[in-house]
Amino acid sequence: MNEKYRVVVALDKSAMRGLDYRSDGIPITLVIAKSFDNKREAAQGLSRVGRFGDTCKRVQFKDTPLIDVKAHTTYKMKLFKFIEAMQKKPVQMKQILVKEIVVPEQRVTVVVSKYHSTKLG
């Protein structure tokens, strides 16, 4: 490949924040190989690339859901416990059914198998 490209590998979620992912005109691809813990984290993670009009792609493995359901439930429980502790009245939780999680305007461009080699770019 004779084109310039930029590769950033984040092995820890904390690396998703605080780094400058601007590509300065060089196309950049975000590969999602691990689920996010909640929708807020997913929205922030997906917006790491493509800011300021940069050319980008977002790739997600087929067997990797965007949101980890178990981690998301744990996150919600901790959040409710915090809110409950901060209020005088207890917070009542209600079960809701979510069929699909959509992060507007920040969609995964390509879905690939972990074991399938694909030329990106």
The whole-chain average pLDDT of the chain stands at 75
User: Looking at the predicted structure, is the pLDDT value of residue 2 above 70?
Assistant: no
- Which residue in 101, 120, 113 sits closest to 55, CA to CA? 120
Beta bridge partners of 57: 29
Tell me if 48 sits within 8 A of 30, measured CB to CB: yes
pLDDT band at 70 (very low <50, low <70, confident <90, very high): very high
pLDDT band at 121 (very low <50, low <70, confident <90, very high): very low
Beta bridge partners of 112: 61
Other beta carbons less than 10 A from residue 36's beta carbon = 24
Q: Is 69 helix (H, G, I), strand (E, B) or coil?
A: helix
- Considering Cα of 9, then 14, then 19, then 24, what sign does the dihedral take? positive
User: Looking at the predicted structure, is the pLDDT value of residue 86 above 70?
Assistant: yes
| Residue extents of the structural domains in the chain | 13-112
Query: Which bin fits 85, alpha (ψ -120 to 50), beta or left (φ > 0)?
Result: alpha
| Model confidence pLDDT, tens digit, residues 43-67 | 888 888 777 777 888 888 888 899 9
pLDDT at 8: 66
pLDDT band at 89 (very low <50, low <70, confident <90, very high): low
pLDDT at 30: 82
